[in-house]
Amino acid sequence: MDREISQTIERLTGSRVASANPLSGGDVAAAYRVDLADGSRVFAKTKAGADPSFFATEAAGLRWLGEPSVIPVPQVIGVGDDVPLLALEWIEPGSPTPTTEADFGRALAALHQAGPSSFGRADNATTGSLELPNTQHATWAQALADNRLRPLARIGLERGAYGQDEADDLERVADRLPDLVPEEPPARLHGDLWAGNRMIGAGGRSWLIDPAAHGGHREFDLAMMDLFGGFGPACYAAYDDAFPLADGWRDRIPLHQLAPLAVHAIKFGGGYRPALRRALEATLTTG
């Protein structure tokens, strides 16, 4: 960690950096466990060459997810003014308990129920490394089409992540969304809810980190949870018991996985293009 980053952490925390150890796991930012001279510890991440405001949207998303006080999120200590840096409360990793999955399912249901007044973000801030829009819309069909599927059709084609067929089919799904997805009031979404963005802390309690937060359809978070696994049956059962899902929600999982699969095809290639193709076919043939 260079001196400029250390000085920024010291300014945000009010304490001298005693040591900083790099952490693995991120594909966008460099992350550190930082021990301070006052005996406390913080999590910090930075991104070389990014605009100093790079982490402002993530910080705002964490605060927004924490507003209902139903799932804990790390406290935002501060965002760098001169360097792209985010300093957060350190969460000591723990182990799951027999009730961790069910507890998380109920808490996620409560988070989703504490939704905003519209789909998108009130600040219209873009999210993720692809800077996807979060323009506010009155319906999920409009938001999913204009903020995710249409931009991803264009970006993926421009970057050669997939071909004209996939781009055209993403546009076809966007056109048909009013008939494919049942409208619900907007939910307060994490927006990138794979298992790596759910931390287990002390007492088996679940924490949310690294959000791409926005108002959206709650099936979007559930589809992301299903994409890479890591959430047990008790989680989904407790969620559905607390906040029953619309009929056919499992049949719409491929639809709500289109955006994350397109993002991963653009960023990582590999097997994500075939997976996107399968999700497109499932959506267009069953819708």
> Residue 64 is which amino acid?
W
Choosing from 89, 116, 131, the residue where a domain stops is 89
Cα separations in angstroms, 215 against 27, 85, 204, 246: 25, 25, 27, 18
10-residue mean pLDDT profile of the chain (287 residues): values are 91 96 80 96 92 89 98 97 93 97 98 97 90 96 98 97 97 97 97 96 97 97 96 98 97 98 95 96 87
Query: Taking a C-beta distance cutoff of 8 angstroms, is the pair 187, 115 a contact?
Result: yes
The pairing of strands 187-189 and 214-216 is antiparallel
Domain holding 58, by residue range, is 3-89
141 and 59 part of one domain: no
109 and 244 part of one domain: yes
Q: Domain tally for the chain?
A: 2
Given the residues 192, 210, 221, 226, the one annotated as active site: 192
70 and 18 part of one domain: yes
Tell which residue, 166, 128, 133, has the closest CA to residue 151: 133
The pairing of strands 76-79 and 30-36 is unpaired
The span from the CA of 116 to the CA of 127, in Å, is 17
143 and 257 part of one domain: yes
Query: Taking a C-beta distance cutoff of 8 angstroms, is the pair 193, 223 a contact?
Result: no
210 and 185 part of one domain: yes
Q: What's the CATH code of the domain at 266?
A: 3.90.1200.10
pTM of the predicted protein model: 0.95
pLDDT at 54: 85
pLDDT at 24: 81
**Whether 192 is catalytic:** yes
Query: Taking a C-beta distance cutoff of 8 angstroms, is the pair 235, 202 a contact?
Result: no
50 and 159 part of one domain: no
The span from the CA of 7 to the CA of 3, in Å, is 6
Three-state SS at 269: coil
Query: Taking a C-beta distance cutoff of 8 angstroms, is the pair 227, 263 a contact?
Result: no
Query: Taking a C-beta distance cutoff of 8 angstroms, is the pair 258, 228 a contact?
Result: no
Is 172 a domain residue? yes
Cα separations in angstroms, 279 against 126, 190, 227, 252: 25, 22, 11, 10
